[in-house]
Structure 1
Amino acid sequence: MKLRFLGKNSNVGDCPTLYATDRGTYLVQGWRIFANDLLMHLELGVGETAVEVPTELFEHLTKDGLATGEIRRVEDPIVILTPGGTFVVQGQEVTDTEALAQMEIPDYETVVEVPKTAITALLEEPLEADLQRRAQPAL
C-alpha cells in the first residue's frame, strides 16, 4: 500500500496524522481507545478498532483535492463526536507491515483504514430528513 501524507496536528513528535492511500482509502492515525465505557458502545467487527483524533485533523482533506475538510455529518460507526470535542473514528485496523513502516506510531496510537467514500460523505451538509431525525427525542 502506498501512502501520501496529508497532515498532522502538531509539528513536534508523533501525533494524530492523516494519509491518503493508493487503494481509495484514508488512514487515520490516532490515540488508542482504552476507555471501556466508550468501547462498550462501539460495535467493532472482526479486525476493526477505533482511534480518537482532534476534529481539526480532517482539515487536511483539502490537500487531497476536497473543497473542505469540515465534517458536517457525524454518523456512527465511522465518526462519533466525544463530549471532549474530539472524533472517534472506526475502521479496519492497519496491519500492512509496508504501510506501517512508512509511519512513526508510538505505543499509545494505532491506525485505522476508512474508505474515502465514507469520509467524503461526512463532508456533505445533512439532509433535511437527517436534521429532523436528530431533533426528535429518543424514545
Structure 2
Amino acid sequence: MRLTFLGKVSNPTESPTLYASDQDTYVVQGWKVTDPEITSKLEVPSGETIVEVPSALFDHLINDGVTGTVSAWACPIVHVTSSGNYIVQGEAVSDAETLGQMSIPGHEDCVEVSKAAIKALLEENADGSGHG
C-alpha cells in the first residue's frame, strides 16, 4: 500500500497523522487507547484496533479534495472523548511496507478505514466551504 501524507496535528510529544492510501482508504495514526472507561464501551473485533486523535486532524481531508466537517458519530469514529478528541476504529495496520512509510512512536498506533466511511460522516457547511 502506498501512502500520501495529508497532514498532522503535532507538538514535540504528539504526532497524530492522516494519510490517503492507494487502496481507497485512509490511514489514521493516533494515540493508543488505554483508558478502561473508553475500552469497556467498545467492541473491537480481532484484527481491528482503536486510536485517539484530535478532531482537527480531519481538517486535513481537504488535502485529498474532501470537504465538510464531521457531523455524525458512527464507525469508524466510534467515540468522542470529553476533551473532544475522536476515537477511530479500523483495521490494524501491520504490513511492514506500509508501516515503513510512517514514523510511529511507541505510544501510537494506526488504523485503516475506508474513504467512503469517513465521507459518510461529513456534512458540508452552509457556505459550501466545508470548513468549520
- For 1:110, the aligned partner's letter is D
Kindly provide the amino acid, as one letter, of the partner of residue 20 in structure 1: A
Deviation at 1:14, TM superposition (A): 5.2
Alpha-carbon distance change, 12 to 98 in structure 1, aligned in 2, over 3 angstroms: same
Secondary structure at 1:45's aligned position in 2?
coil
- How far the C-alpha of 1:100 sits from its partner, in A, is 0.3
* SS of 1:74 mapped into structure 2: coil
Q: Which has the larger radius of gyration?
A: 1
Runs of 4+ in 1 over 6 A off after TM superposition: none
**Which residue identity lines up with residue 24 of structure 1 in the other structure?**
D
SS at match of 2:43: coil
Structure 1 length normalisation: TM-score?
0.83
How far apart in 1 are the matches of 2:37 and 2:99?
Answer: 28
Determine the C-alpha separation between the residues in 2 that align with 1:13 and 1:2. 26
| TM-score (norm: length of structure 2) | 0.88
Alignment of 1:86-125 (within 5 A): 86-124=85-123
Aligned residues between the structures = 123
- Tell me how large the CA RMSD over aligned residues is: 1.4
| Residue segments in structure 2 that go unaligned for 5+ positions in a row | 125-132
Change (3 A) 1:63 1:71: same
Output one character per residue of 1:87-134: Cα deviation in whole Å (capped at 9) or x when no partner.
000001100100100100000000000000000001036xxxxxxxxx
Aligned letter for 2:76?
Answer: I
Secondary structure of 2:37 counterpart? helix
Asked whether the 8 Å contact 1:50–1:88 carries over to 2, the reply is: yes
**Unaligned ranges ≥5, structure 1:** 126-139
Q: Which residue of 2 aligns with 1:132?
A: none
> What amino acid sits opposite 1:78 in the alignment?
P
CA distance, structure 1, for counterparts of residue 14 and residue 52 of structure 2:
14
Letter in structure 1 aligned against 2:56: E
Q: CA deviation at 1:56?
A: 0.1
1:61 aligns with 2:61: yes
Q: Which has the higher helix share?
A: 1
Identity %: 49
Alignment of 1:1-139 (within 5 A): 1-10=1-10, 12=12, 15-68=15-68, 70-75=69-74, 77-79=75-77, 80-124=79-123
